Amino acid sequence: MDLRYTDEEEHFRDELRTWLSGVLPDVPPLPEDHTDLVARRAYDTDWQRMLYEAGYAGIHWPAEFGGRGSTPTEHLIFLEETERAGAPYVGVNFVGQLHAGPTLIAEASDAQRSTHLAPILKGEHVWCQGFSEPGSGSDLASLSTRAIDDGDDYVVTGQKIWTSFAQVADYCELLVRTDADAPKHKGITWVIMPMDAPGIEIRPIDTALGAGEFAEMFLDEVRIPKSNRVGDENDGWRVTNVTFAFERGTAFISEVISSQRLLADLAAVATRVTRRSGTAWDDAGIRRELGRLDAELDALWSLTKRNVSQAQRTGMVGPGGSVFKLAYADVRKRMADLAEQLLGRAGLAIGDTLDLSDLDHVGERLYTLTLTIAAGTSEIQRNIVGERLLGLPRGDR
Amino acid sequence: MDFELSDDQVALAEGVAALCEGRFDIESVRAMEVDGLDRGRWGELAETGVFSLCLAEDDGGVGLGWAEAAVVFEQLGRALVPGPLVAATLAAGLIEGAADGSTVVTTVPRSLGPAMVEHAAWADVVVISDDQGLWSVPAGALDGVDANQPLDPLTPVRRIDALPQGDQIGDAAAADAWRLRGSMLTAALQLGIAAGATELAVGYAKEREQFGRPIGAFQAVKHRCADMITRVEVLRAAVYAAGATLDGRGADSPERAVSVAKILASSAAAACGKDCVQVHGGMGYTWEVDAHLFLKRAWVHDLAFGEGSELAEELAAGLVS
Ligand SMILES: Cc1cc2nc3c(=O)[nH]c(=O)nc-3n(C[C@H](O)[C@H](O)[C@H](O)COP(=O)(O)OP(=O)(O)OC[C@H]3O[C@@H](n4cnc5c(N)ncnc54)[C@H](O)[C@@H]3O)c2cc1C
C-alpha cells in the first residue's frame, strides 16, 4: 500500500507538464457558443491531433495499436495533469477514445482495427454510441432496431435516441437485433455504422441546458456490410459489456479534479455572499458542508487510486466503477444544492452570477442532473452493486 | 503507486479476523456486557501484538506501520471487540504494561466542565490529553459515578465532574501525535463497524422472506444495501490512505488525510448502523440482534478523537486560505 508515485511515474508527469505548459498558451478557449457542434468538433479534434503528434493519444491503448501503452497509473496521471492544467477535455472524442476504440482493440478483426484505430487517435474520425432506443433505455437488451440479413449486408431499420454528438460523428457503434426469436440478450449484434450511409436521419434534441448535445437517429433500411460486424452475430451483448467496463472505469477521473476546483470556488463565493450581518461563510452549517464535501472528494480521489491499482494488477475494472459513480453523483448533487443556497438570486441566470464567481455554477447544477441518468441510471447501478457485489437475489424487473 | 493491500497485509487482516472469530465471537463479546472486560482475552489480544503493532522491534514491538494498524483495527471494529483498543495502542511504549495488556489504559480529552470517561471501570490508567501534553491518572483515583446505562453496553462510561491535572507523560507534540494517530485508528474501527453492519444487513436480506421472496429482492431493501456498501468502499479508500500517509507513503499531509478519513467515518458508520436496524425491521430494534450494537458503537466513536462536524469545519478553512 503506497500512494506515492515511482520515479518513472514522476518522470512521466514532469514530461507531460513541460509539454502542457509549452502548448497550452496557444490553445484557444472553448468556442463561446456551446450549441455549435461543428465548432466543438473542430476544437476537440484539433486538440486530439496535438495529443497524437506529441505521443499522448491513446495513452492507455497498447502500443501495437498506435497507443502509448501506458500503465493505468500513467493514464491516471495524464487525466489529472491535463485537467489541472486546464487543457481541453476529451469532448466529442469520448466514444472513440473510451468506448469504441477499446472495444475494437478487444474484439475487432485485424482489418477493422487497422481501418479505425489510427483515425480515432489522430482526431480524424469521431464516433458516437447508438445503443439507447425510445423503448429501450435501462432495459437496453430489449432493443428492437432490426437488422435483416441480405447477402453481404445487414439492412437496418429502427430508431435510436440520446445519441450524443451524432450530428458531427463519422461512425457509430450500433446495437441491432439480428435474431428476433432468441431470448433478448442472445439476439443482439454490435456493428460499425458509417454515419454517411444512406437512410440515416438525425434530429437534434435540446437538452435541459439548452444545448444540442444529443440527437434522435432514425434508421430507414440502412445498408451496413457484414464485414462491419464486431464479434459474432448475436454475441453483441457480451461485446457491449466489454464497452461498459471501460466506460465506468475512467469516465469521471478528470471530473474529480474539476469538482475540487468548483468546490474551492464555492468556498470563495461563501466569503463574498453578504447576509443580514456578515457573510455566508460566517454560517457554521455552510462551512461544515463545504468541509464534508471537500473530504468526500478527497476520498473519491483515493477510491479512484484504488480502482486504478486494481486495474493495474488484474487488468479489469470491477464493480468499483459502479460504487464510484454512485458516490460521485451524490457528492456533485450536494455541491449543486450548496451552490443554489449560496447564490440565491444570483443563481437565476446561466452565465451571470452577479459578480460572485467566474465559474458557471448554475450550468454545473443543471449538468449534475445527468450524473444519475447517463451511462446507466443510479437505480440500475444500485441493482448492479446489490446483485453482483453483494449477491442479493434478483427481483421483478 | 500501488494502493492495493500487499499479500502480507491481506494475511494480517485474515489472521485478525480469524482471531476475532475464535476468541471474540459475538457471544463472548456480549458476555462482557454483564461481566465486564474479560482481561484474559484482552491479554490474548495483546499477546498477538495488536497493541504493539507500530512499536519498533527494539522497543519490544512488532515494527509494522500505521497502514497495517488500519487493516487490523478494521477487523476489530467489524467484530465489535470491546475495550479501549485505541488507547492501548497509543500507550504502547509510553505506559508500562499497555502493550502486553497487563495495564489497561483509557483516554479522554480534557474539557471544561464534567467529563464522560470511557472504560473507566475496566481500566487501570487514564490518559488525559490537552494542548499542553499528555497526563496520566490512576483510574481508581478518578472519583465519579459509573453510568447505570451507558449508550453502548460495551462502552461503560464514568461521569467525572472535574478531571485532575495528572502526571505529565508527554509534551504538546506527543499530544498532537496521540490525537492524530488515535483519530486514524478510530476511523479504522468505524470502517469495520460500517462493514460489519453491512454484512449483517445483507445476510438478513438474503434470508428473511416476506411476500414469498427474500426481502433483498425488493429494490427498496436492495438499494439500501447498495448504498451501505458504497459508503463502506469510499470510507475504506480514505482510511487506508490515512494509514499509508501516517507511514510517509501518502500524497497529502497526514493531518489532512486523517481528517478526511475521520469525517467520512463519522457519517458512514452511523448511517450503516441505522440502515442495518431498518433492514431488520422489528428485530432491528431488539436487544438480541446486534444491529443496535453497531449503531451505538458508531455513535461512541464519532465523539472520540475529533467529532466529524468539527473536523469538517477545520477542513473547510483550508479551502479559503
Ligand atoms: C446526457 C446524456 C447523454 C447520453 N448519451 C447517450 C449516448 O451517446 N448513446 C446512448 O446510447 N445513450 C445515451 N444516453 C442514454 C442513457 O444511457 C439512458 O438515458 C439511460 O440508460 C436511461 O434510459 P432511459 O432514458 O430510457 O430511462 P428509463 O429506462 O425509461 O428509466 C426511467 C426511470 O425509471 C428507472 N428504472 C428503469 N428501470 C428500472 C429498474 N429495473 N429498477 C429501478 N428503476 C428503474 C430509471 O432509473 C429512471 O429513473 C444519454 C443520456 C444522457 C442523459
By C-alpha distance, the chain B residue nearest A4 is B1
Between these two residues, B243 and A32, which has the higher pLDDT value?
B243
Q: Does position A382 have pLDDT exceeding 70, yes or no?
A: yes
**Residue of B1, B6, B191, B275 to mutate, testing the A interface (most A Cβ within 10 Å of its Cβ):** B1
Tell me the C-alpha distance between A292 and B226, whole Å: 21
> What does the mean pLDDT of chain A come to?
94
The whole-number average pLDDT for the span B193-219 is 98
Q: How far is B145 from chain A (nearest CA, A)?
A: 34
The whole-number average pLDDT for the span B284-291 is 97
Between these two residues, A318 and A366, which has the higher pLDDT value?
A366
> Residue B251's pLDDT is what?
85
Strands A171-177 and A127-130: parallel
> Residue A249's pLDDT is what?
62
- Top mean-pLDDT range of A60-64, B32-36, B126-130: B126-130
Output the pTM of the full model: 0.96
> Residue A247's pLDDT is what?
62
Tell me the pLDDT band of B252, cut-offs 50, 70 and 90: confident
Domains and CATH numbers, chain A: 7-125 (1.10.540.10), 128-235 (2.40.110.10), 252-389 (1.20.140.10)
Least confident of A7-16, A91-100, A309-318: A309-318
Q: Does position B88 have pLDDT exceeding 90, yes or no?
A: yes
Tell me the pLDDT band of A137, cut-offs 50, 70 and 90: very high
Between these two residues, A317 and B314, which has the higher pLDDT value?
B314
Kindly report the three-state secondary structure assignment for every residue of chain B: CECCCCHHHHHHHHHHHHHHHHHCCHHHHHHHHHHCCCHHHHHHHHHCCCCCCCCCHHHCCCCCCHHHHHHHHHHHHHCCCCCCHHHHHHHCCCCCCCCCCCCCEEEEECCCCCEEEECCCCCCEEEEEECCEEEEEEHHHCCCEECCCCCCCCCCEEEECCCCCCEEEECHHHHHHHHHHHHHHHHHHHHHHHHHHHHHHHHHHHHCEECCEEHHHCHHHHHHHHHHHHHHHHHHHHHHHHHHHHCCCCCCCHHHHHHHHHHHHHHHHHHHHHHHHHHCHHHHHCCCCCHHHHHHHHHHHHCCCCCHHHHHHHHHHHHHC
Q: Is the CB of A370 under 6 A from ligand 1?
A: yes
Write out residues 284-313 of A within 8 Å (CB-CB) of B.
284, 287-292, 294-296, 298-300, 302-303, 305-306, 308-310, 312-313
Q: Does position A21 have pLDDT exceeding 80, yes or no?
A: yes
The protein residue whose alpha carbon is closest to atom 24 in ligand 1 is A137
By C-alpha distance, the chain A residue nearest B314 is A291
Tell me the pLDDT band of A32, cut-offs 50, 70 and 90: confident
Cβ <8 Å between B216 and A392: yes
Cβ <8 Å between A309 and B4: yes
> Residue A302's pLDDT is what?
95
Catalytic residue flag (residue A83): no
> Residue A397's pLDDT is what?
60
> Residue A139's pLDDT is what?
96
Q: Please write the tens of the pLDDT for every residue from A311-355.
A: 888 777 666 888 999 999 999 999 999 999 999 999 999 988 999
Give the list of residues 6+ apart from residue A116 with CB closer than 8 angstroms, or none: A100, A101, A104, A108, A125, A171, A192
Other C-beta atoms closer than 10 Å to the C-beta of A10 total 12
Q: What percent of chain B has pLDDT over 70?
A: 100
> Is domain B173-320 classified as CATH 1.20.140.10?
yes
Q: Does position A64 have pLDDT exceeding 70, yes or no?
A: yes
Could you report the predicted ipTM of this complex, rounded to two decimals?
A: 0.96
The whole-number average pLDDT for the span A123-136 is 98
> What does the mean pLDDT of chain B come to?
96
The whole-number average pLDDT for the span A151-160 is 98
Contact A88, A27 (CB under 8 A): yes
Q: Please write the tens of the pLDDT for every residue from B175-192.
A: 999 999 999 999 999 999
> Residue A317's pLDDT is what?
66
Q: Is the CB of A372 under 6 A from ligand 1?
A: no
The whole-number average pLDDT for the span A206-227 is 94
Cβ <8 Å between A1 and B5: yes
Q: Does A263 touch chain B (CB under 8 A)?
A: yes
Give me the residue spans of the domains in chain B. Answer: 173-320
The protein residue whose alpha carbon is closest to atom 41 in ligand 1 is A397
Contact B272, B193 (CB under 8 A): yes
> Residue A245's pLDDT is what?
66
Q: Is the CB of A137 under 6 A from ligand 1?
A: yes
Q: Which of A247, A255, A289, A364 is catalytic?
A: A247
> Residue A359's pLDDT is what?
94
Tell me the pLDDT band of B76, cut-offs 50, 70 and 90: very high
**Residue of B4, B315, B319, B320 to mutate, testing the A interface (most A Cβ within 10 Å of its Cβ):** B319
- Top mean-pLDDT range of A31-35, A207-211, A264-268: A264-268
The whole-number average pLDDT for the span B23-49 is 94
Contact A274, A226 (CB under 8 A): no
The protein residue whose alpha carbon is closest to atom 14 in ligand 1 is A162
Q: Does position B221 have pLDDT exceeding 90, yes or no?
A: yes
> Residue A252's pLDDT is what?
84
The whole-number average pLDDT for the span A79-108 is 94
Q: Please write the tens of the pLDDT for every residue from A221-277.
A: 999 999 999 999 999 999 988 767 666 667 788 999 999 999 999 999 999 999 889
The whole-number average pLDDT for the span A275-300 is 96
> Residue A167's pLDDT is what?
96
